[in-house]
Amino acid sequence: MIEIFSIYTQLFIFIIIFQFPLNKLILNKYGLLNVNYFEILIYNIILNSIFYLIISFLSFDLKFYFIFQIVFGSLFFILNFIYFIRNSKKNFDNHKILIAIFLLLNIILFSSIALNLRIEWDGLAHWIQKAQVYFQNGSYSELRDVSFAYYPHFGGFLWGYFWKNSILQLEYLGRLILPFFYLSGIFYSVSTLFKKEDYFIKILAILLIFTLTLDYYLFGGYQDYYIFFQLLIFSKIFYEYQKMKHSKFHFTLLFLITILILWTKQEGFFYNFILTLIFILFCNKDNKTKFTFTFFVISSIVIQIYLKKIYIGSFEFNEPVFHDGLLRYLNLTNILETFLLISKHIIISMFRYPIWILILFILLYFEIFDKKSKLPNYSLCYLFIFFGFVYAIYFQTKMPLDFLLPITIDRVLLQGSGFMIYPILLCFQKFILDKFKT
């Protein structure tokens, strides 16, 4: 019974700590008058995640910081509740149903993890070792002694932090933050679409994205849903940023997300370049803004390289980017065989994560039947660059592709699909409004 209580208490803890440091009253000062619960939740997740990343480099008592979060989160929770009571007819009540479903889906995923405590291969081989360092109040420099020390550590820190700061200090309680982020991103992407009274359509869209991207296996210690979540919220915030004349707030959020991606998985290094290129090509701001964003991203990459060399001892990937094995592609037959093999596994992976079937279906539908309405240009460019990135990964590796592709490419595709969620939801919204609304 106490374990069941601790599971659901963990959900309440997440709700409390991500009430801080922003709320509706504070965001009103930035001119953000119509933000809903899920928008505020995402903004607070981003800011808190940056604080987590900072303290992960310090010799710091994690319990002290957790108490700080609980105290201020509780204060903001009380203030927000008072604000809600006073303004319930004008604010917030339009999302009561979505909040209830959000809590229900969290409970379902939390219970599933509790019933299947198995940590899967990568979780055991890589990530739990980093989590244990932080569970034992270690610091970033101590990661030098774990396996694959050069892997980014943000997800491992979250795992260890919430493992340590749970009621029973059970390992899997630390992993519950992953489904919470995953669901937060999905609800955030849908919450501002359609009309306020269109609850059924919003719920349908949420359940559709949830069903097409859900894989319980990845809650067994894998980090891919973090990248999925980060790309998803970047895509939506970038779209909203385009509609504003000036928004230092959204600009800052976009940059902070690139930092989180960089420190989540090795692929994040390359996603930073992809997202920066998207920003340069499609941001409708002046060149100064584009240059500033590029400068910040490159600076954060340089800082990462410096910190890894100082604390871990080196900056590296699983294997060198350039090596003698690439010479085999001087043979046209090898190029063709490798291309076909990668393509085959991409198709197989799309059926494992059917979100890609939906993306391609919507892309073809609007290209053939509704040419006036297409996916946003930045998303089409992302698709082209992303799949170029996927092919480049497997052309570059020295590992046997017959072994590597079946166990990795599906997760890479799931990560990358996060960026496409909001663009396809925009198309879905337009389709619904055009076909079924008068």
pLDDT along the chain (438 residues), means of 10: 89 96 84 84 98 92 94 94 72 73 97 93 92 94 91 97 95 97 97 82 95 97 97 97 87 98 97 98 94 98 96 86 84 95 97 96 83 81 96 94 95 98 92 67
Judge whether 223 and 268 are in contact, CB under 8 Å.
Answer: no
Q: How far apart are CA 123 and CA 118, in angstroms?
A: 10
* Structure token digits, residue 193: 């679409």
Q: Would you state the pLDDT for residue 438?
A: 47
Q: Would you state the pLDDT for residue 169?
A: 93
Q: Would you state the pLDDT for residue 164?
A: 96
Q: Which of 424, 390, 418, 389 is nearest to 274 (CA)?
A: 389
Q: Would you state the pLDDT for residue 73?
A: 96
Q: Would you state the pLDDT for residue 428?
A: 86
Q: Would you state the pLDDT for residue 371?
A: 67
* Structure token digits, residue 364: 């073809």
Q: Would you state the pLDDT for residue 39?
A: 95
Q: How far apart are CA 26 and CA 36, in angstroms?
A: 13
Q: How far apart are CA 214 and CA 414, in angstroms?
A: 10
Residue 106's identity, in one-letter code, is N
Three-class secondary structure of residue 354 per DSSP: coil
Q: Would you state the pLDDT for residue 194?
A: 84
* Structure token digits, residue 204: 């349908």
